[in-house]
Amino acid sequence: MAPGPTTARRWLPVAVAVVVGLAVIAGSYLYVRLDGDRSDCTALDVVSSTEKNVLVAQLAERYNGSGRRFGGQCANVSVAGLTSGKAMEALAGDWAAVAGAKIAKPQVWLPTSSLWTGQLRLRDRAAKRAEQTPGTYPSIANSPLVIAVPATKARVLQQQGGLGWGDILGMSGDRGWGTFGKPEWKRFTFGKDNPRLSTSGLAATIAAYYAATGTSSDLTKEDVGRPEVTQYVRRIEANVSHYSDDVVDLLKSLAAADLSRVDGAGSDLSAIVTQEELVYLYNQGQLSPNPGDKPHEPLVALYPKEGTFNLDHPYVVLPGASQAQQAAAADFLAFLQDEPQQRAFAELGFRDHERVAAPDLIDVVGGHEATRKEPFLPPSPDVVQEILNSWATLRKKANILMTLDVSGSMVSHKVGSRTRLAAATDAAAKGLQLLNSEDQVGLWSFSSEKQGSHDLPYRQQIGLSRLDSRAFADRLDGLQAGGATALYATVRAAHRYMLDHYDRNRINAVVVLTDGENEYDKDDDLARLLRDVALDPDRPVKIFCIAFDEGSDLDTLNAIAKATSGKTFDARDPRLLDEAFVKLLSSF
């Protein structure tokens, strides 16, 4: 039976809440076991990417309760949510070790894009084992990659006629919007996900290479290495504000800035490269701090003239499925592609399994249908790997000041057999390996000044300089702890330091790791701190925080990060600290 309007309205906020909450941490999951008196039915385990797993689970519940039969059989479908990249890694290795014991190894995998099935093929070949994803697969939904631009700025771009990836994302340096007669809008910067972590980030990076070569398929390794291609991609990457592990966070930050009604407050972004369905959800107010409050200025989805990627949400039946499970998988696919279930996907802003958009979708995302060109075809998996290797050298470099809490609680409390300080410095040293040797990184420690002294409560351990991972790790190992937590004074001083050492050609950021709250009476005015560090869109210094252990003041760290258009990573469970550092440093 088709869902009624009340059911449809209920699905949308629930699904979006999970997109926002669960996609923040790579590998996070929602496991849904659907019980019932169906003991004679074949059990089918499905793992879905996290932007759609709640909806797929709800549709599985509908399927299980429908009394549906196929060839005299029936199926019980269970759905787990796992990011596409994490699921690919788990399928390529030890499933339980990567995905966790609570998620059963699936017979059906629903990643965001066939780009991930290609990467799994590459891993299988390298391991000299049978390929798990050797073919092409049907879709259950689709969403093209778009450049989302606030409506006022989008109208200026649309007046120029057909523009390409480089025309929009590669606006030249400080001239920025002056290229299109709007110098008062200053620099052009855009947000995108890290391509090693995110489907949209990976697709956006490959799209830049396609645009640079003027092709839509058959990209080769030789193409990737051509000087004019690398120059084109480098020009685009130079305008990245910072890399994200989750594009939803970028859209949430933009929505919060929009609702503040203060021009430019909270965001320096002129555009975000994202999936079309997220533009739909943004404009419907579902990514707002107050879900349902539509933005004052909606986003417009722009489709570059060269074409774009379609994220095809393939339905992959894995070789571990038994004959009965293969039959069950085929029936569940047919169910998902039926019209009532396709309407449920449309209510979240997806195109249907044949790439057809509902009229409401086109109206909400800007009223312009995508180019009639066929979407870019995924390059071969080894070319994708070559692109990722090339991107590591072409990505925008960073200036990062890392500030580490060395108050007494960092040694008086343990994480297993180690002190908090030892766990923190180990995680930082591992995370730094993700950075480029051309990045510049500084290190401060902070607690409180010694009683009776005139010292500052923070101390420079390493000045901002080209990253030397070994020297940095040695200095981390030598840190000593003691005193209270001078959080506000340190954040303010670190922010000022980065402004004094600002480099317009780099991402400029402060990283704060703390296990506590501000305990420094000489500087305890949070409102003043938030005013002092508020984002200047023309010279953005973003603050990224890691809340380490239950004593961390997560609300305050969130407020600091939000004021600068940065982000807070919740590692109050110390087991999440390594992962938090990986995701944080992947922002650069």
Task: State residue 369's pLDDT score.
Answer: 61
If pLDDT is split at 50, 70 and 90, which confidence band does 281 have? very high
Q: What is the pLDDT of residues 433-442, one digit of tens each?
A: 878 888 999 9
DSSP class of 251 = H
- 311-321 average pLDDT score: 97
Indicate whether 20 and 137 sit together in one domain: yes
Contact 481, 421 (CB under 8 A): yes
Indicate whether 136 and 149 sit together in one domain: no
Beta-strand runs (E) in 36-163: 42-48, 75-81, 108-110, 143-150
If pLDDT is split at 50, 70 and 90, which confidence band does 34 have? very low
Indicate whether 447 and 387 sit together in one domain: no
pTM of the model: 0.81
Q: For the ranges 3-17, 190-204, 243-257, 409-423, which has the lowest average pLDDT? A: 3-17
Task: State residue 112's pLDDT score.
Answer: 94
Indicate whether 319 and 438 sit together in one domain: no
> Is there a domain that residue 574 lies in?
yes
Contact 557, 582 (CB under 8 A): no
Positive or negative, the CA dihedral 71, 76, 80, 81 is positive
Cα dihedral value 370, 375, 378, 379, nearest 10: -120
Q: Return d(Cα 478, Cα 465) in angstroms, integer.
A: 19
Indicate whether 107 and 131 sit together in one domain: yes
Indicate whether 160 and 305 sit together in one domain: yes
> Is there a domain that residue 434 lies in?
yes
> Is there a domain that residue 360 lies in?
no
From the list 545, 499, 540, the residue with the least C-alpha distance to 264 is 540
> Is there a domain that residue 356 lies in?
no
Q: Return d(Cα 224, Cα 210) in angstroms, integer.
A: 9
Q: Return d(Cα 366, Cα 117) in angstroms, integer.
A: 32
- 518-541 average pLDDT score: 91
Q: What is the pLDDT of residues 499-510, one digit of tens each?
A: 999 998 899 999
Half-sphere exposure of 155 (CA within 13 A, CB side): 4
* Angle, in degrees to the nearest 10, between helices 84-92 and 114-126: 20
Tokens representing 275?
Answer: 């999936």
From the list 252, 208, 283, the residue with the least C-alpha distance to 568 is 252
Indicate whether 381 and 337 sit together in one domain: no
> Is there a domain that residue 359 lies in?
no
Over 50: is that where the pLDDT of 23 sits?
no
Higher pLDDT, 389 or 433: 389
Q: Return d(Cα 38, Cα 75) in angstroms, integer.
A: 8
Pairing mode of beta strands 440-446, 398-405: parallel
Q: Return d(Cα 537, Cα 203) in angstroms, integer.
A: 27
Indicate whether 19 and 121 sit together in one domain: yes
Residue type, 249: D
If pLDDT is split at 50, 70 and 90, which confidence band does 37 have? low
| Structural domain for 103, as ranges | 5-141+314-349
> Is there a domain that residue 249 lies in?
yes
* 339-345, long-range: CB < 8 A, 24+ apart: 339/2, 340/1, 340/2, 340/3, 341/59, 341/62, 342/141, 343/2, 343/3, 343/8, 344/3, 344/8, 344/11, 344/55, 344/58, 344/59, 345/52, 345/55, 345/140, 345/141
Indicate whether 65 and 191 sit together in one domain: no
Contact 180, 157 (CB under 8 A): yes
Task: State residue 247's pLDDT score.
Answer: 85
> Is there a domain that residue 357 lies in?
no
Half-sphere exposure of 28 (CA within 13 A, CB side): 18
Residue type, 504: R
Q: Return d(Cα 305, Cα 165) in angstroms, integer.
A: 8
**What DSSP line would sit under 95-128, residue for residue?**
HHHHH-TTSPPPSEEE-S-HHHHHHHHHHHHHTT
> Is there a domain that residue 362 lies in?
no
Tokens representing 96?
Answer: 């339980």
Indicate whether 69 and 206 sit together in one domain: no
Secondary structure tally for the chain: helices H, strands E = 23, 19
CA distances from 487 to 483, 512, 541, 548 (A): 12, 9, 17, 13
Tally of domains within the chain: 3
521 CB-near residues (< 8 Å, 6+ apart): none
Q: Return d(Cα 367, Cα 480) in angstroms, integer.
A: 59
Coil vs helix vs strand at 292: coil
- 194-210 average pLDDT score: 90
CATH of the domain at 318: 3.40.190.10
Over 80: is that where the pLDDT of 551 sits?
no
Indicate whether 183 and 151 sit together in one domain: yes
First to last CA, the chain: 48
Q: What is the pLDDT of residues 466-477, one digit of tens each?
A: 988 888 888 888
The H-or-E segment that residue 31 falls in is strand 31-32
- 271-296 average pLDDT score: 93
Q: What is the pLDDT of residues 350-385, one digit of tens each?
A: 999 999 999 899 999 986 665 557 889 889 999 999
Over 90: is that where the pLDDT of 581 sits?
no
27 CB-near residues (< 8 Å, 6+ apart): 82, 83, 86, 98, 99, 100, 579
Q: For the ranges 11-25, 170-184, 487-501, 538-552, which has the lowest average pLDDT? A: 11-25
Tokens representing 380?
Answer: 């071969």
Indicate whether 384 and 402 sit together in one domain: no
If pLDDT is split at 50, 70 and 90, which confidence band does 35 have? very low
